[in-house]
Amino acid sequence: MNALVNSTRAELLRLRKWSAVWVIVGAWLALSLSFGYVFNYVAYKTGDDNFAGDGASNAQLLAGLMPSAIPDVIVSGLPMFGGALAMVVGALVAGNGFGWGTWKTVFTQGPSRYASVGGSLVAVTLFVLTMMVATLALSAGVSVVIAVSEGQTVSMPALGDLARAFGAGFLVLEMWALLGFLVGVLAKGPALAVGLGLVWSLVVENLLRGVGSLLSGIETVTEALPGTAGGSLAGAVVGGPNGTPGVLDAISGERALITVAAYVAVAAVAAVVVMRRRDLV
């Protein structure tokens, strides 16, 4: 247990001092702010009929900017944009350990492989949790400012709804981050892992779902994919597709939750097993 704690602390130190991680966090917060509030607020103030408004009335746009809508906002962008960035982080954490020789050094001089890899997985999980907390804080602050500036009552969402959205968002990001970690382990490097992860999450799954709408056999396969599960879990929270890319209703919320949790468990176990047997020479 001490070895696991020490490995986690060492990995967290590396993440804190890694500029790429801060760039990814900044990119996600900028995307969350833009798609969650800026575009809809501009549409509300100007009355323009654009993609941000998606045909919604001014009252509907304003309601989506209020603090009561925080649960929907924090989870809507996670299946595609947030998930892709979390996958990049996971791939970088695992893949760079090969390129920099970190894994070889740790495995030959430090604790066991189980403790080392476990510490990295725990650190990635804590990073995902931090991303969710930062997203929640950003959404709360911006929505309160908008409510006050527009003379609206500051009504916070129910604690149960907020916890449900936060938990779903955390699971979606955790799934993608651990899948990225596994790809980084399998690819033994960051570049290929990041490239494969982004192509899969942003392109391949969308193409398969498009083909699946025409072929029932392909549709059955797409229902088991991580993007479909994460998007459907987000869709269950927000009440179905809301115009945000990646939010789906392809499968039920219960099935999506089980599928996402299964991906999290399988990715973590597979990463540990592969690293246990990996030849680092």
Cα distance between residue 271 and residue 276, in whole Å = 8
Which DSSP state fits 111? Answer: S
Nearest CA to 78 out of 161, 144, 8, 139 is that of: 139
**HSE-up (13 A, CA, CB side) for residue 266:** 10
Cα distance between residue 142 and residue 203, in whole Å = 31
Report pLDDT for 209. 79
Report pLDDT for 168. 95
Report pLDDT for 271. 94
Report pLDDT for 201. 81
Mean pLDDT by groups of 10 residues along the chain of 281 residues: 88 92 93 91 77 68 93 89 92 88 82 86 95 95 95 92 95 95 90 86 81 76 90 90 80 94 96 82 50
Report pLDDT for 269. 95
Cα distance between residue 260 and residue 267, in whole Å = 11
Q: Are 157 and 42 in contact (CB under 8 A)?
A: no
Report pLDDT for 127. 95
Task: For the beta carbon of residue 53, count every other beta carbon within 10 angstroms.
Answer: 21
Q: CA torsion sign, 33 to 35 to 39 to 44?
A: negative
DSSP string, 124-180: HHHHHHHHHHHHHHHHHHHHHHHHHHTT----PPPHHHHHHHHHHHHHHHHHHHHHH
Nearest CA to 220 out of 187, 191, 255, 265 is that of: 255
Report pLDDT for 79. 85
